[in-house]
Chain A
Amino acid sequence: GQQLNQSPQSMFIQEGEDVSMNCTSSSIFNTWLWYKQDPGEGPVLLIALYKAGELTSNGRLTAQFGITRKDSFLNISASIPSDVGIYFCAGLSLNTNAGKSTFGDGTTLTVKP
């Protein structure tokens, strides 16, 4: 089946630093999604990408849909303590039954004040 490799697995950064994480796959996706999960809560959709090469921002967050359609990147600028959580990428393929998403294993972000 389709698999996503999300890296890094965890990050420990100082408040104010920029953060980068990415997802790669051997399969092509038509949509890339980025979610954030706060401790004890459900994931919340941050950014959705629909076209190869697309670059989309949501406040301090910027995500890109890779040209090959096999990868995506998420950047967080000037991190703050409330950025702490788990960030998941997800890929959607038109060929996937029921529109199921394939999820990465997550990047756990810790921000030191």
Chain B
Amino acid sequence: DGGITQSPKYLFRKEGQNVTLSCEQNLNHDAMYWYRQDPGQGLRLIYYSQIVNDFQKGDIAEGYSVSREKKESFPLTVTSAQKNPTAFYLCASSPFVSGSRNEQFFGPGTRLTVL
């Protein structure tokens, strides 16, 4: 089955701790993305990556870090510098770097709660 997996589904952490959210895809997609979603709100882009070993900041990158060591994997670390980390985090991937047929496909999300 091809798709995007995010783990875990629910994550609880104490304030001040770093936490890493996993995102894996077996769709052979080049680009991957991380979004944050707060209750009743839309999707805000945190980071994205076009290719292995390269990534770019999105609109709300402060307090987050990423790596892209493998094409299939794009983990997101929520650091203690992120002032309000409790949110629903969505990972997505898309097949091509350029071109109009570049639909993003989403994982099931991870709900992070910082206590």
Q: How long is the Cα–Cα vector from A48 to B97 in the complex, in angstroms?
A: 17
Bitwise interface map of B from 9 to 41 toward A, beta carbon under 8 Å scored 1, else 0: 000000000000000000000010100000011
Q: How long is the Cα–Cα vector from A38 to B71 in the complex, in angstroms?
A: 28
Q: How long is the Cα–Cα vector from A45 to B97 in the complex, in angstroms?
A: 19
> Which of B50, B56, B102, B109 makes the CB contact (< 8 A) with A42?
B109
Q: How long is the Cα–Cα vector from A103 to B40 in the complex, in angstroms?
A: 14
Stretch from A13-21, A56-64, A77-85, A93-101 at the B interface: A93-101
> Which of B88, B90, B99 makes the CB contact (< 8 A) with A99?
B99
Instruction: Determine how close the nearest CB of chain B comes to the CB of A21; give it in whole angstroms.
Output: 14
Q: How long is the Cα–Cα vector from A48 to B4 in the complex, in angstroms?
A: 19
Instruction: Determine how close the nearest CB of chain B comes to the CB of A43; give it in whole angstroms.
Output: 5
User: B43 an interface residue at 8 Å Cβ cutoff?
Assistant: yes
B104 partner residues in chain A, CB cutoff 8 A: 33, 45, 90, 101
Instruction: Determine how close the nearest CB of chain A comes to the CB of B81; give it in whole angstroms.
Output: 24
Are A99 and B102 closer than 8 Å at their CB atoms? yes
Are A42 and B45 closer than 8 Å at their CB atoms? no
Chain B CB within 10 Å — which of A33, A100, A103, A105 has the most?
A100
Are B109 and A88 closer than 8 Å at their CB atoms? no
> Which of A33, A42, A88, A94 makes the CB contact (< 8 A) with B103?
A33
B96 partner residues in chain A, CB cutoff 8 A: 99
User: A7 an interface residue at 8 Å Cβ cutoff?
Assistant: no
Report the 5 A-B pairs with minimum CB-CB distance, sorted nearest first.
Answer: A99-B102, A42-B106, A105-B42, A30-B100, A98-B50
Name A residues whose Cβ lies closer than 8 Å to a Cβ of B: 30-31, 33, 35, 40-45, 48, 50, 88, 90, 92, 94, 97-101, 103-106, 108
**19 A-B pairs with C-beta separation under 8 A:** A31-B103, A33-B103, A35-B106, A40-B88, A41-B109, A42-B92, A43-B43, A44-B106, A45-B103, A88-B42, A94-B98, A94-B100, A98-B48, A98-B97, A99-B99, A103-B42, A105-B41, A105-B42, A106-B42
Name B residues whose Cβ lies closer than 8 Å to a Cβ of A: 4, 6, 31, 33, 40-43, 45, 48-50, 56, 88, 90, 92, 94, 96-109, 111
